[in-house]
Structure 1
Amino acid sequence: MSIQAKSERALCEITRSIRTRLQDVYGPASADSLFHAVERLIQRKRRTLSVSAGPRFSEKDALLITYGDTFLSPDRSPLSTLHTFLQEEAGSLFSFLHLLPFYPWTSDDGFAVTDFRQVNPSLGTWQDIQALGKEWKLVFDGVVNHVSSDSLYMKAYQHGDPDAEDFFIALPPETDTRSVLRTRTLPLLHEYQTTQGPKWLWTTFGPDQIDLNFKNPKVFLEIIDVLLFYVEQGCRMIRLDAIPYLWKELGTSCAHLPQTHQLIKLFRDILDWVSPDILLLAEINAPWPDNVAYLGDGGDEAQLIYNFTLSPLILHALVCEDASNLTQWASRLPPLPAGTTLLNITASHDGIGIRPTEGVLPEEARRCLTELAVRHQGAVSGKKNSYGTVCSYELNVSYFDALNDPAVQEPQEVQVRRFMLAQLITFAFRGMPGVYIQSLIGSRNNLAGVRKTGRARTINRRQFDLTEIQQELGTPGHLRQSVLSEYRRLLSLRRKEKAFHPDAPQAVLDLSPSVFALKRGGLPGGEEILALHNVTNRTVRVDLSRYLSGERYQDRLTGVSYARTDLCTMDLTPYQCAWLKKETLISA
């Protein structure tokens, strides 16, 4: 079959899929007109969209997460200042750059958007964004579940614009909404004034973030237009923020509903139609079965999901010096659909999620983590379950301080080794590593920021004067310099190892409760690495005899060579990691 014939066949399959999903979500009566509206939208957009379908992921990929105004300089825009910092300090360590919401906003540090199509003037311009896109593959946030109460859409709704009718979900204030799953403890319905009188609108996350009504096809078409606009501006991956709550049905939890999955699959189909290299990253802070479902049936939904379970399990393993729960969970993970992968992180702009550990960590262990966060000068945020019960949702603490008690005097070298071991687990785990900017530069709890804003999440969202942070990063022995230099060394080494390709098989080895061990690699013509992580502050001896087939191995992290007989029983020093590879597979 010719390339053109394959392309035409693929297009027929995509359009058929779009028609079917539109029928499932909006009904047969609306599906045909909606399909033609999508088709017209695509025809109008595709003249400015690039069409390519190269390899999606490789071992060279890593993703950096940052706000556009993390670094400030008096004579340049924050986005231009960020560009300078990345060029000088991060180099080619990262292939993807996730710019957290850079649109105009009113609250939640960017996640209450007033205009999806503009760059916040206080950050810079689209030209600044496009300049970054020349060096990194950009990740934009698709904040498609809700908009700011001061957004263009809300203003039109309040003024009775017929085009904005039913853009939001209005209900009587006495409506029983107790079944709805929440990540906040605020009321679900809030009152707003309109030219038609007061309206009580659905607000999953709070009064300044009003949920869009995807039952209205106009909302769906508007969001498709926005996503395609992002692609026009150079976006290569779209992060679907708070995506589980997209579709609402009273009497249900309004989370993870079938229509939500169908809408994401429609996003995917439409993007595949116009630009097949664009990726979707779904944000689902939930237990693993709910999370992995967003990869779809055979990989027809998002191509990536966050591996939110990994971060708290690594934290638990290191603070308890016992990797048993991490090993058991990782060993039970099923294979992922072809063409999909995990984004493995320890930290992000939000807290460390506790909910993903439901059914994985015992309740006593989960309680220990919440107590640890408070003891380490952090906080714990709660969520409201269906019918009003409240439980812990996330730990608000920098990952460095979650692992290292700020009140305890301990050698900095030990603290850095402990912290970097946590990162090395995410580097070795199947998927793509993601690094949050505050972790990259060794940030500790931003307690002054929390006191200023009154918001728990500010603890991990510090801003820096560019000159001052570069001085600290250039000072030998400074904590920030020690952490960044290790990230540079380790990410550079990881890029060279084909065994860490996201598609490379992963086997979890149960060597000892003190060691988390993986065997990665085994693709046809590929390589293998044994990745060993001592999660304790003591020397641990492991028996590797069952896993060795070569005569000599090299630890790719240190360059030290070992005879097979030396590795049958190997001593791992406190917080040591080793990447063992057959010397016969190492290029000269």
Structure 2
Amino acid sequence: MTQPLRDKLVAMLDVVYPALDCQFLADQLLSTMGLEPDMPPPPAHQNNWDESDIILITYADTVQKEGQKPLVTLRQFLNDCLSDTISAVHILPFFPYSSDDGFSVMDYLAVNESHGSWEDIEAIAREYKLMADLVINHMSARSRWFENFKKRVDPGKDYFFQGNPRDDLSAVVRPRTSPLLTPVQTDDGERYVWCTFSEDQVDLNFANPQVLIEFAAIIRYYLERGVLLFRLDAVAFLWKEPGTPCIHLQQTHELIKILRLLIEHYSPDAVIITETNVPNRENLTYFGNANEAHVIYNFSLPPLLINTLVTGDCRHLKTWLMSMPPAQLGTTYLNFIASHDGVGMRPTDGLLDEEEKQHLINAMESFGGKVSYRRTSDGRDQPYEINISLYDALKGTVEGGADHWQLQRFICAHTIMLALEGIPAFYMHSLLASENDLERMENTGRLRSINRSQWEIDKLETELENPLSHHSKAYHELTRLIDIRRRQSAFHPNATQFTLHLGLQLFGFWRQSMRRDQSIFCIHNISDEVQQVPLSSINLIGTDHWQDLISGMTIDDQSGTITLKPYQCVWLSNRD
């Protein structure tokens, strides 16, 4: 017999709040979400995605038009240029904010007036699956809640986590070099607030259950306005206990389960995605037992794939791929190779050695990239992320420097991403092959601005219509590859995947559809030299007709070889 929703919720709450009346708290949460206590659960292990799903990641104001709200311009660009290419759009924080390009939220229930309105958001949500950030770990120091914290009144009085400078905080895992505790003058004296990311981003206090209730109300508000995919920003840091690393604590995992339980009972089609930019093994824990995140970011993919293509050696990428467990049904990976943030280096821990990391950093700096750092528990500053546009990250090789293979290398990277197990996500500036925006970085003083350009839509459309422009070449080839991918059942996010062993310059894997009616051998030359692929090494079934979905080439002699130019890729399929 199925356990009632309320009973499940109470059991989870007891783990987080053992000293509280969790039955009363469960009733508050269910009332806030508008849920009945005995609601049946959604179908178990349900895949809310298929091979046609492609996510676009963009800021609300990445494309602009004079005299028009950016959300209106964005919708126009999506409908004119990407309506047959993407199924979902992740609009990065579109709320009023005070810093960090949106991730220091001042009001969770408002749309930034300079971007547009809730009506604009809802219009996009009617045409595409909408993914929004739930910036759940911290809030702006200029928010009303924090102003109330300083005045010592509600709502907000006890909404922010406070620390004590005398506590032993040496074990706390930090993603930044800024001070962890910030002194704040309040109406009843000086208090120290916990700031994982910056003094303008004050960590919320989930030890106060009223904060959880507030977020249940925020989640319901988003659901009512069409949000279907929830990105839990920086969620790994949610629960704090001095004397511990304050990352990945059990209460954090339990809170994710609680949010998932509430969200999927409200909308069985909704999806939770955890944003945990951490080493690979730690990242995998956010699947739980298929009861935490529906989807986790493949954070190790961007640095490993870039490293593969600039070294011409796929050893580490292949080792990583072989170690990745197949996601259970109802869960999957989100594959990306560029985002609004930099290329994370922590996800390479245990995958690249220190010398290899430094060689990669040196290459990226030679291509115009910058490096930001984090503070370790022993006081050392370690590289945290590389800030660079993906197009410029693939400008050349570690040994040879910049070369003429940049575009081919860039297309190869995305071809690999499109074929891997999971849902592909394209950052707008990768789809457009934007270059390093050094001027914007200098103007803002923030390294991440190097990959957060803004396009004037008329100029962008001119570039995309110019056949000689690298923006046009990249955009048209990537949208062509996406169109091919979306029609292949073997590219379902949960389809079978096996790694192929073809040497260090050929990265390959095999995908098979869940109905076993299609196989695709995905083979990629990740070097700047011509490579020969003996077809005998990939065991094509002799009775099937094989064709490269990318070029249209047919395989007439299965005992022969195929020749791959530098960075050329093939998707050999037994079904057109």
> TM-score band (shorter)?
over 0.9
Q: For residue 236 of structure 1, what is the amino acid of its counterpart?
A: L
Q: Would you say the 8 A contact 1:97–1:139 is kept in 2?
A: yes
Partner-residue secondary structure (3-state), 2:51:
coil
Of 303-312 and 547-556, the range deviating more from structure 2? 547-556
Residue of structure 2 aligned with 1:283, choices 275, 282, 291:
275
Question: Are residue 250 (structure 1) and residue 242 (structure 2) matched?
Answer: yes
More helix by share: 1
How far off is 1:400 after superposition? 0.8
Could you give the per-residue CA deviations for residues 95-132 of structure 1, whole angstroms, max 9, x where no partner exists?
Answer: 11000000000000000000000000000000100111
Output aligned runs, 1:88-127, within 5 Å: 88-127=80-119
Question: Structure 2 CA distance, aligned partners of 1:45 and 1:486?
Answer: 49
Q: Would you say the 8 A contact 1:59–1:500 is kept in 2?
A: yes
How far off is 1:543 after superposition? 2.4
How far off is 1:186 after superposition? 0.5
Counterpart for residue 390 of structure 1: 381
How far off is 1:318 after superposition? 0.7
Of 249-258 and 357-366, the range deviating more from structure 2? 357-366
Residue of structure 1 aligned with 2:532, choices 522, 527, 541:
541
Question: Are residue 26 (structure 1) and residue 17 (structure 2) matched?
Answer: yes
Question: Structure 1 CA distance, aligned partners of 2:402 and 2:151?
Answer: 60
How far off is 1:524 after superposition? 2.5
Q: Would you say the 8 A contact 1:52–1:277 is kept in 2?
A: no
Counterpart for residue 76 of structure 2: 84
Question: Structure 2 CA distance, aligned partners of 1:364 and 1:174?
Answer: 37
Q: Would you say the 8 A contact 1:553–1:564 is kept in 2?
A: no
Could you give the per-residue CA deviations for residues 382-409 of structure 1, whole angstroms, max 9, x where no partner exists?
Answer: 1112232221111001111111059966
Counterpart for residue 426 of structure 1: 417
Question: Structure 1 CA distance, aligned partners of 2:288 and 2:133?
Answer: 20
Question: Are residue 148 (structure 1) and residue 136 (structure 2) matched?
Answer: no
Question: Are residue 301 (structure 1) and residue 292 (structure 2) matched?
Answer: yes
Output aligned runs, 1:242-391, within 5 Å: 242-297=234-289, 299-391=290-382
Question: Structure 2 CA distance, aligned partners of 1:52 and 1:124?
Answer: 36
Q: For residue 107 of structure 1, what is the amino acid of its counterpart?
A: S
Q: How many residues align?
A: 567
Q: Would you say the 8 A contact 1:45–1:228 is kept in 2?
A: no
Q: Would you say the 8 A contact 1:188–1:203 is kept in 2?
A: yes
How far off is 1:424 after superposition? 0.8
Question: Structure 2 CA distance, aligned partners of 1:317 and 1:146?
Answer: 35
Question: Structure 2 CA distance, aligned partners of 1:549 and 1:532?
Answer: 16
CA RMSD of aligned residues (A): 1.9
Question: Structure 1 CA distance, aligned partners of 2:275 and 2:224?
Answer: 23
Question: Are residue 417 (structure 1) and residue 445 (structure 2) matched?
Answer: no
Q: For residue 425 of structure 2, what is the amino acid of its counterpart?
A: G
Partner-residue secondary structure (3-state), 1:563:
coil
How far off is 1:91 after superposition? 2.2
Counterpart for residue 572 of structure 1: 564
Question: Structure 2 CA distance, aligned partners of 1:398 and 1:528?
Answer: 34
Residue of structure 1 aligned with 2:445, choices 454, 468, 474:
454
Question: Structure 1 CA distance, aligned partners of 2:464 and 2:234?
Answer: 34
Q: Would you say the 8 A contact 2:150–2:157 is kept in 1?
A: no
How far off is 1:44 after superposition? 7.3
Q: For residue 187 of structure 1, what is the amino acid of its counterpart?
A: P
Partner-residue secondary structure (3-state), 2:131:
strand
Question: Structure 1 CA distance, aligned partners of 2:219 and 2:20?
Answer: 25
Q: Would you say the 8 A contact 1:511–1:543 is kept in 2?
A: no
Q: For residue 262 of structure 1, what is the amino acid of its counterpart?
A: E
Q: Would you say the 8 A contact 1:554–1:562 is kept in 2?
A: yes
Could you give the per-residue CA deviations for residues 533-586 of structure 1, whole angstroms, max 9, x where no partner exists?
Answer: 1001111112231421134310000111112435x422211111000012xx33
Residue of structure 2 aligned with 1:176, choices 165, 168, 179:
168
TM-score, normalised to structure 1, is 0.93
Question: Structure 2 CA distance, aligned partners of 1:499 and 1:201?
Answer: 50
Partner-residue secondary structure (3-state), 1:305:
strand
Could you give the per-residue CA deviations for residues 409-442 of structure 1, whole angstroms, max 9, x where no partner exists?
Answer: 644xx32111010001110110000100000111
How far off is 1:363 after superposition? 1.8
Partner-residue secondary structure (3-state), 2:34:
helix
Q: Would you say the 8 A contact 1:247–1:257 is kept in 2?
A: yes
Partner-residue secondary structure (3-state), 1:448:
helix
Question: Structure 2 CA distance, aligned partners of 1:559 and 1:499?
Answer: 17
Counterpart for residue 41 of structure 1: 32
Question: Structure 2 CA distance, aligned partners of 1:488 and 1:164?
Answer: 46
Partner-residue secondary structure (3-state), 1:343:
strand
How far off is 1:28 after superposition? 5.5
TM-score, normalised to structure 2, is 0.95
Q: Would you say the 8 A contact 1:446–1:458 is kept in 2?
A: yes
Question: Structure 2 CA distance, aligned partners of 1:369 and 1:226?
Answer: 41
Question: Structure 2 CA distance, aligned partners of 1:363 and 1:321?
Answer: 19
Q: Would you say the 8 A contact 2:145–2:157 is kept in 1?
A: no
Counterpart for residue 197 of structure 1: 189
Distance 1:550 1:14, change over 3 A: farther
Q: Would you say the 8 A contact 1:548–1:564 is kept in 2?
A: no
Residue of structure 2 aligned with 1:488, choices 452, 473, 479:
479
Could you give the per-residue CA deviations for residues 489-517 of structure 1, whole angstroms, max 9, x where no partner exists?
Answer: 00000011100001100000011110110
**Identity, % of aligned positions:** 38
Counterpart for residue 223 of structure 2: 231
Q: Would you say the 8 A contact 1:142–1:239 is kept in 2?
A: yes
Q: For residue 119 of structure 1, what is the amino acid of its counterpart?
A: V
Question: Are residue 560 (structure 1) and residue 553 (structure 2) matched?
Answer: yes
Question: Are residue 166 (structure 1) and residue 179 (structure 2) matched?
Answer: no
Question: Are residue 477 (structure 1) and residue 442 (structure 2) matched?
Answer: no
Q: Would you say the 8 A contact 2:489–2:513 is kept in 1?
A: no
Which 4+ runs in 1 deviate beyond 6 A? 51-54, 406-409
Counterpart for residue 137 of structure 1: 129
Question: Structure 2 CA distance, aligned partners of 1:14 and 1:310?
Answer: 37
Q: Would you say the 8 A contact 2:145–2:155 is kept in 1?
A: no
Q: For residue 205 of structure 1, what is the amino acid of its counterpart?
A: F
Distance 1:56 1:266, change over 3 A: same
Partner-residue secondary structure (3-state), 1:293:
helix
Of 173-182 and 151-160, the range deviating more from structure 2? 173-182
Q: For residue 96 of structure 1, what is the amino acid of its counterpart?
A: A
How far off is 1:273 after superposition? 1.7
How far off is 1:338 after superposition? 2.3
Partner-residue secondary structure (3-state), 2:192:
strand
Q: For residue 31 of structure 1, what is the amino acid of its counterpart?
A: C
Residue of structure 1 aligned with 2:232, choices 233, 240, 244:
240
Q: Would you say the 8 A contact 2:363–2:401 is kept in 1?
A: no
Q: Would you say the 8 A contact 1:382–1:392 is kept in 2?
A: yes
Counterpart for residue 440 of structure 1: 431
How far off is 1:355 after superposition? 0.7
Question: Structure 1 CA distance, aligned partners of 2:508 and 2:229?
Answer: 31
Partner-residue secondary structure (3-state), 2:146:
helix
Q: For residue 227 of structure 1, what is the amino acid of its counterpart?
A: I
Of 255-264 and 173-182, the range deviating more from structure 2? 173-182
Counterpart for residue 221 of structure 1: 213
Question: Structure 2 CA distance, aligned partners of 1:18 and 1:143?
Answer: 23
Partner-residue secondary structure (3-state), 2:541:
coil
